[in-house]
Structure formats: structure tokens, C-alpha cells
Structure 1
């Protein structure tokens, strides 16, 4: 379950291509009770294979380049925000109100990194912006009561559940029925002829345009990966929803960043869409539909487009329209209980749901582009943090075994030796973790560093 072969099958890939993948195992990487290292390797390896496959097709190569997945590089990338230095400064971590809290009957975890989420949390609890006031208020409430009250106020708080409790929850059942990567064809649009891909280095997504309507971590990780592979990625944000600067720096490699109000800037957006090859979204299911951004609507205006959608909880079930983050999904689905103790919940050694799902999303886009070469058709790809969480829990029985199944050859290696890169940028000198997506002849770094959030014009370069 936790191998590249399983993920590759979920992506609809040819199993014969798994012979091109080898792995370097480093048992010291991403230590956890759950099989985080194996899951991370599988997501990155499948993404790299999807890139190699598309690159070979577009460059006219006789065979698919060899893919090598190194646990050390994967582990470093899965905690890229911790390795990042901007002008020698370490990034700002979680905000003081983003943490676990004791309730009258258990635990909740809150997310208040963004000012508007912090304000809504405080309003729901009726307390001032002081951790001790929040703690006192929550100690008098039940976890389920807190979860619903904060959600009703537009904030973010999730009650701690065991895996069994999540399995019995209506949303847990809805997500469990989803494929790891949901893939579909929207129409019979003809295959779009793409120019031959660059070969030095081999850039599978060269010449392709990606509209990036994502925020936070998972979606930006996906589009950061597509940018590494040569895509022209333009991230578009609402002017009133600024991103956290360090978070944007970590996930902004290879991209340009613009601000655009979709309500008043529709003409500008339609000009972007008219030549886009892929649209990647990371907002709550249905949140963008009123702007004509549902997959079917996008395909109607841009036949042949690939629409990739990321959500926290999945598009179905009672929580389908709720906001969510990696830390909260870990708590709701039972991961925090599995990684914790009887005294306190735990957490994964990385925001593995974010990063893993990001690579799954990028892989889904790459595979959709490959399928279009032969079959045409607008495509839709969907992934959800909660579904990735379920997959990780399903593989718990194999935790620490390092089994790769049909993923190819394996090498043993010493524990993690992190290799970081450094370069100048408009933000200052950056130290950062390189991408773990690697194949023979492929790129080893992004063509451009990140710039300030929203500093670019809303047009293709």
C-alpha cells in the first residue's frame, strides 16, 4: 500500500515503467509510528516518474529516463520550511494560538496563523488575544462543542479523534470511498499539440502555462514542482488575502505572483485562461464556482485544459465545504492520536499530508498531460488531505518496513545527510532544500527564485 507502485496505479500509469525507478533508503528519515517515510517516497517517486514519462514523450526519447528517489532529499523537502533561511533569518513558525488545547473532555487543535482566522477564533470563544484566556475558555467546553462553535464563526478548531472514531464519522466514511487520486475526462476536446520539450536539461512541462490559484502549502508545493519542470506558473491571489511571507518564499520558487480580484478583474482572468494549459485550485470545494471556475465551466471556455483541485476534507460529505489545514486533518483523522500518548496528542515529523498531497497533485497534472497527447480531452484531477491521511493510516501495519514492492531497485545508505542550496533573490540570500523530484537529465533547481508576494503583473511572461 505504501509503495510507488500503489501510487502509480492510482495515477493510471503503465506498471511496466516502474522498472525505471530506484530508491535510496535512509531509515533515519522522517521517523514516526506511521509509515511517513515510505508514503513520502511513494508520492515523490510517482511524481518523478510521471515527469520522466511526459518528458520522454514530449522530447521524442526512445525510453523513459531513470528515476532515483533518495529518502534524504525527500525528507529535507518535506520539512522545507524548517530549512529555509531568508537573509540568514529562520522563518516564523506556527502562531501562538495555533496549537493543541485541553478541553473539558479531551483535546482540540486550533489554526490561527492568519489574522482573520485568529480573529474568528477569539470571537467564537469571546476572549481577548491572550493564550491564557483561550486556555481558560476551552477548559470549560467540550471538544465537539468547540469544534462546531468555532466553525460556525468561520474559524478553525478540530476535536481530537481516534482512527476508529474518524472511520465512524460521516465525513470519514465519505472520504474513505474516494480514490487516492481522483481522475476524470470532461469532454472530447482534441489533443493539443505542444512544442518539443527542452532536453538540456529535460523539462517535461516546458512551454506549458499553469494558472496557480492555491494558497498555504499543498497546492503551492504542486505548482512549485511544475515550475521546476519548466512550466510558466503564475500564482494569482485575491488582494485582500495576503500570504504569510515566509510560507510564500518557501513555496514560491520558479513562479511569478500576482494579485487579481476575480469579481472585478474577470477580463484579465479570461485572458490568462485563454492560453492556460492547466488551472490548479486549492480553495474549498465550490468556493470558486461563482466565478465560473468549476471544472466543466473552465473546460467549456478553454477546451483541453487540465483542472487540478485540492481540498482539505474532500468534495463530498458534510465537511466538504469546510476549511482545513494539515495540522487539523491530522487531528480529525486519528493521526495525532496514533502519534501521541495517553497524556498528549502527537504530530507527524513533517507536514506530510501537505507535502505528500502536493506531489500527488503535481503527478496527476503530469499524467493528465501525458494522456492528452494520445487521447485528447479536458481533464480533472482531485486530491484531498484527508484522503492522503486515510491512506497513511491504512499503511500503518507496514510502518518502518521500507517495502517498495515493484518500485525498482533499492540501495542502503547512511542516515540523512541534508543537502541544501543557496542563491540570491529579491527577498535576500536564500538557503533552501532542493526539490526531491529527480530523473536522469532533468533539472536540479528552479529557473528563478521566489519574489515578493503579489509583485508581478497578472499576465503571462
Structure 2
């Protein structure tokens, strides 16, 4: 797994070092037949190795495997208040007449789509009763065609023979394209904060993309996250908005697209989590972006892969787990998801590593790189490293880990945040601002000191 990740990031260019060159500390806190911790650890290590290479300090890098697992569960502990729920009341697994299906209804328009197919049930129990009469694939098709999100639970063998499973298996872990730069590429100017001055345009949501941009912000990048007025993920904002500027644009309007293209022209890097055809349908595809900024590096995420019949399907970690067979049935037959959303988190750290690799490639060879990753391809990394022998699966709780948490005062209340799971000698990792609600900042870049960045 380590070698597969290193090869995917290198793309024939040995710039970022190998994730196994990072020192690993701590005991393996989670290890079962599906090598969840191993994938997360390799991804975080690849990102840490990339930062070390970018800084040029030559300092040692270390990753704490216990803290990696904890950060993939949650990094925050509220003080005197409760975290908002990450899940809608209807987001769960349901028994169909021939198996199981997972609905993802956190977004209002996704919930509306599912409800319209099911005759607008008022409770989860009412939804379960109606779903029990459906054939799983029929219901999945109806909900997806209505603009919703659903996934029948396949076993691994069925996924591997499915046209989408076969397509994803042929994709690289990171798909690269590149072209020659026109201008002098961005280069780091502060070894201790190697991403200071880097302007990142963040078009990502739950959860992989925000993990990527949170990591970049920790090393000084100016991250501008853009969300539409209709989007909300308060349960994740506490985790994911730390260190970022959170603004809004309506990309369905001409004014919104015009403002976005101006921002793209000012950015060094764009990280996107839109479906494969979504930006193109808005008139913001690769040609429009290159016209606005020929030197813009892009790192893009898609749930189900970039080829195959499901390339434009809406998806989330929990759904991809069901489709690929990672959510194995428990004693009662109900699918049991992985201990945490490792597809999201591992892909997010790999996106960050890919972004830094692209920055190194630009500064050393004058090439503008674009990278594409998917949750489904990370699922194949797990499937390809499956173990048959039983392994313990107890999760080490965060309150059993010796830690020195940091404190944040947020709009939701005070909280403790776990110490970072990575450390690089000579480099400072921290965020310029605490977590805060989506769309709460003016539109524009803000530097590490909290000042607006004027672009000339």
C-alpha cells in the first residue's frame, strides 16, 4: 500500500520522497481484516513527506499512528456543548426485499429527492416500511435519477465484476496531466511556513476535499472556501473550517461565474470536489479555467471514479463503502461501515500530497500539473490489501490517549482540538483562525496575519 501511494504521487518524478521515510510513532490502535489504519497512516505520511520536501529544511518528519486514527474520527471535544449531528434522521441503512440500501440525505435537496420517490415519509420508520417492499437496485436507480444519493450494498465479488468496479480498477490512484507553465511558478519563501503566500481556491465539501485544504492551511496556505447559499454541513464545519476563509458565490449566475473566474485568475491552486461533469455544465470546465489562469494547478475529487457508467453519480464515503463491499454485513445482516470514513480522510491527505507534488514539479521543471483522485479508487487500495486472518478491531478512544490539546473559541462554543498527528522538524503547523460557520467571511484572500490580500 505504501509503495502504491508513493508511485502514484511520484508519476515518474522523485520529488516528494517516500511516505515510508517518515518516522512512525505510537501503537497501531485499529487493525482489522480491512487495513483501515494502514491506509490512513500511509496517506498522512505521504502528505508530511511532501511538506518536508517542499520546505527544503531537511528536518525529520514523524507521524503518530494513534492520532491519525483519532483525527479520522474527530479532532474536537466541545467544552460545555454538543457537536451538531453529522447525519440527517433519514440517512441510514434500510432493508429492501432483496438486501440492503443506504440513503444519504444530509443535504436538503438529496433528502427531497429520496422522499419524492418514497412518497414523502414523515419518519425513518415509515421510510423503512416503504423501502422493505422495493427491490434494492430499482430503488437506487429511482433515487439517483431523481437527483438523490443512495447505494445498494454489494459484496466485493459483485463490485469487482460490475462495470463501474472494473473501470475504477483500471484507473491510477492519482491520474496526472500536465502542460508547460507560462509564468514563473509560485515558490515557497518561508521554510518554517512553506505554504505561506499560496492562494488556494477551495470548491470542496464533505469530507475529503476539506481534509486536504485543512492540511494545506496548517502550513500557511491562504484557503478561500466557496459554498452556495443553499449548502449547509454544520456538523462538519466545526472540524473542517479551521484556518480557512469561508465565503459564498452562486455559480449558477453570470455574476457568480464571473467573480469565480476572477478568483481563479488570482489563485495558484484550485481544489475541487464537484462531480465529473458539474463544472463543465456551469461553463467552468478546464478550458474556461485555463483561459482565466493558464498556470492554475488543479486537484479534483470524484466519488465513483473518472471513468465508467457511474462517473457522474453523486456519492459519499458511506455510499462508496456499500457499493464496493467494504461495509460487510454484521451478525444481524445489516451492513457495518468501517470504523471511520477512511476513504474520505485518506483521499483528502493524498490530495494534499498531490497538490504539493504539483507545486514542486512547477518550481523545479516549469510544468503545470493537474491531479484527479476518487473515493472508489481508495476503496480498491483497501480491497487489494485485504487480509483473511482475523484481527482485533477495538478502537482506542481519544480520552485514553495522552495528549496536550489546543483550545479554540468558536461561534459554537469553546473546544479542545487534538494535537496534530504529524510533526516536521523546523516547520510550524498551526492555523490562523479557529473554526467558524460557512459563508461567514467576505469574499477574498486573507493572509496569515488576517489581512486582506490585494491582487494587482
- In the alignment, is residue 116 of structure 1 matched against residue 109 of structure 2? yes
1:153-186 CA-partner distances (Å, limit 9, x unpaired): 111111110110000111101111111111220x
TM superposition shift of 1:197: 2.6
User: 1:232, CA displacement in angstroms?
Assistant: 0.4
1:184-238 deviation digits (Å, cap 9, x = unpaired): 20x2124634354323xx2221111000011111111111111111110000112
Q: 1:316 aligns with which of 295, 304, 307?
A: 307
Q: After superposition, where does 1:33-432 map in structure 2 within 5 Å?
A: 33-56=33-56, 61=57, 64-80=58-74, 83-85=76-78, 88-185=81-178, 187-190=179-182, 192-194=184-186, 196-199=188-191, 202-240=192-230, 242-262=231-251, 263=253, 264-337=255-328, 340-341=330-331, 343-397=333-387, 416-417=401-402, 420-432=405-417
Unpaired segments of 5 or more residues in structure 1?
403-414
Q: How far does the alpha carbon of each residue in 1:323-365 deviate from its partner, in whole angstroms, 9 at most, with x for none?
A: 001000000001012x644722211111111111100111110
Q: 1:409 aligns to what?
A: none
- Residue aligning to 1:408: none
Is the 1:212–1:279 Cα contact (8 Å) retained in structure 2?
A: yes
State the number of aligned residues.
Answer: 434
Does structure 2 retain, via aligned residues, the 8 Å contact 1:86–1:428?
yes
- Give TM-score, length-normalised by structure 2: 0.89
Q: Deviation at 1:296?
A: 4.0
Structure 1 residue 397 displacement after superposition: 2.7
Q: Tell me, what secondary structure is at the counterpart of 2:322?
A: helix
Post-superposition offset of 1:87: 5.4
Residues 271 and 103 (structure 1), Cα distance of their counterparts in 2 relative to 1, 3 Å cut: same
- Partner residue in 1 for 2:454: none
Q: Which has the higher contact order (CA 8 A, sep 6+)?
A: 1
Residue in structure 2 matched with residue 24 of structure 1 by the alignment: 25
Q: Which range moves more in the overlay, 216-225 or 430-439? A: 430-439
Q: TM-score, normalised by structure 1?
A: 0.89
Match of residue 440, structure 1, among 425, 430, 433: 425
Secondary structure in 1 matching 2:424: coil
DSSP 3-state at the match of 1:335? coil
- Cα 1:295–1:86 shift into 2, 3 Å: farther
The DSSP-based 3-state class of the residue aligned with 1:235 is strand
Preserved contact between residue 256 and residue 450 of structure 1 (Cα < 8 Å): no
TM superposition shift of 1:43: 0.3
Cα-to-partner distance string for 1:59-99 (whole Å, 9 max, x where unaligned): xx4xx321111111101110126x44275323314222111
Distance 1:293 1:84 in 2: 39
